Amino acid sequence: LSDKKYVWNCLAYNNESGYDWGDANYTLTVDTIAPTITDISNGGTTTSSSANLTAETNENAICKYDSDDVAYNSMEDIFSHTNNLEHWTSVSLDLGENTFYVRCKDVYGNMDPSSEEVTWTREEEEDDSSGNNGGSNTNTDEDIETSNEQILTPLLVTANPVSQEVAETTKVLRQNEKISFNLGTAVHEVKVQKISATSATIEISSNPITATLMINESKDFDVDNNSVLDLRVKLVNITGTGSSRAAELLISALNNLKLSSINVTTLNNSASPSNAALQFIDDNMVYIILIVFGAGLSIIFLITRLLAFRKGLISANRGRKKIKINPKPRKTPWHVDVRMKLLQHSLRVDVK
């Protein structure tokens, strides 16, 4: 049989020339051809510590990848999104050249006899920071006072935009910081709204979308509201503690789109006195509520016991009877005394 789908049924006859078909048709698919990878990531040069490995196949398949060109069953890693026509996953990049080999297997068990490969070269990120060249300190008291006032005011710092088109970029953003970029012909922003120890809440605009990501979790978004997923955001890691927490985001363009005019706007709010307190309250809200609740219960218990104790004293006082005690014995009247003596005398006479 050649590779295709066959439909069959049974026609049965009896001795009286009666006949009938089966209640349902049955199918048989013959497939001996392995899936074909029709498209794969382009690779290239990057300064990011990770990259998105993508592939497309001509039929539903499960794709795997490895840093060595080995058989499908010997490959160690499977795509995070697969068993479809489109497959993708995130891979870590070391400094230097990183080559990945991809093979796929269809639902009938046919495996690619050869690999498709993609290579990224990771370079060290250049340090553009400029040092202090020295010089005399000529600040006056007025200058110092003005400088202190500026420290207490949050400053917006905008980095120079990156005009080069890239498929993805990695940025570290603190709370309320954002990155803007061109995706296709539209300008979009990703802003970090809130950061906890294990997650970050982001807002994507111009069509506002809010999402919460856990560490190592990625989500795809339709930023143009055209029912096509065109942007992926992954929370790579969270660094720092308290008000110094920062979210490391990997932002990737999908569907062969590119990111350009990347512009980071940061909020220099580290010196604001209220930010640390607000962050502390936000991080420990559960414990604060428990402490306040426990203190309230303790106060209610003490008040209840005091009221019960006071009520008990009043009841005890009301139940007491006043007993008047005369310390002096009463004097026996004279006629009673005479009778007693006569009675004693008569008793003595009878005994004798």
User: Which of 64-68, 143-147, 188-192, 324-328 bottoms out in mean pLDDT, i.e. has the lowest?
Assistant: 143-147
For residue 198, pLDDT beyond 80:
yes
For the chain, where are the alpha helices, taking DSSP H only?
141-151, 273-283, 285-319, 334-351
Q: What is the pLDDT of residue 276?
A: 57
Residues 179 and 116 in one domain: no
8 Å CB contact between 62 and 39: no
Residues 158 and 250 in one domain: yes
Long-range contacts of 32-39 (CB under 8 A, 24+ apart): 32/3, 32/108, 32/110, 33/3, 33/110, 34/104, 34/105, 34/106, 34/110, 34/111, 34/112, 34/113, 35/59, 35/61, 35/104, 35/105, 35/106, 35/110, 35/112, 37/63, 37/102, 37/104, 37/112, 37/116
Over the stretch 295-319, which tens digit does the pLDDT of each residue have? 989 999 899 888 888 777 655 555 5
Q: What is the pLDDT of residue 17?
A: 81
* Tokens standing for residue 212: 């919460």
Domain membership of residue 58 (yes or no) is yes
Q: What is the pLDDT of residue 288?
A: 85
Q: What is the pLDDT of residue 44?
A: 92
Give how many domains the chain has, as a whole number: 2
Domain membership of residue 147 (yes or no) is no
For 127-250, where are the alpha helices, taking DSSP H only?
141-151
Q: ∠ CA(77), CA(78), CA(80), 5° rounding?
A: 125
Q: Cα separation of 270 and 136, whole Å?
A: 27
Domain membership of residue 182 (yes or no) is yes
Residues 176 and 247 in one domain: yes
For residue 156, pLDDT beyond 50:
no
Domain membership of residue 208 (yes or no) is yes
More confident call, 275 vs 96? 96
Give bridge partners of residue 181 from the DSSP assignment.
188
Residues 195 and 107 in one domain: no
8 Å CB contact between 279 and 243: yes
Domain at 95, CATH number: 2.60.40.10
Over the stretch 88-111, which tens digit does the pLDDT of each residue have? 999 999 999 999 999 999 988 999
pLDDT band at 265 (very low <50, low <70, confident <90, very high): confident
Q: What's the whole-number average pLDDT of the chain?
A: 79
Domain membership of residue 238 (yes or no) is yes
Mean pLDDT across the stretch 278-300? 80
User: Which of 69-73, 168-172, 173-177, 324-328 bottoms out in mean pLDDT, i.e. has the lowest?
Assistant: 324-328
More confident call, 42 vs 139? 42
Give bridge partners of residue 204 from the DSSP assignment.
190, 209
Q: What is the pLDDT of residue 152?
A: 40
In terms of Cα–Cα distance, which of 155, 238, 157 is closest to 192?
238
Residues 174 and 102 in one domain: no
Tell me whether residue 209 is exposed, middle or buried, using C-beta atoms within 10 angstroms of its C-beta: 0 to 12, 13 to 18, 19 or more.
middle
Mean pLDDT across the stretch 116-123? 94
For residue 139, pLDDT beyond 80:
no
Domain membership of residue 91 (yes or no) is yes
Q: What is the pLDDT of residue 113?
A: 93
For residue 351, pLDDT beyond 70:
no
Domain membership of residue 348 (yes or no) is no
For 5-162, where are the alpha helices, taking DSSP H only?
141-151
For residue 284, pLDDT beyond 90:
no
For residue 192, pLDDT beyond 70:
yes
Rg of the chain's alpha carbons, rounded to an integer? 44
Domain at 202, CATH number: 2.60.98
Among 240, 271, 302, where does a domain finish?
271
pLDDT band at 287 (very low <50, low <70, confident <90, very high): confident
Dump the DSSP string for 220-241: EE-TTSSS---EEEEEEEEESS
Over the stretch 235-259, which tens digit does the pLDDT of each residue have? 999 988 877 788 999 998 887 788 8
Note down the domain range covering 74: 37-122
Domain membership of residue 167 (yes or no) is yes
Residues 189 and 263 in one domain: yes
Residues 161 and 261 in one domain: yes
Mean pLDDT across the stretch 15-19? 85
Q: Cα separation of 90 and 53, whole Å?
A: 6
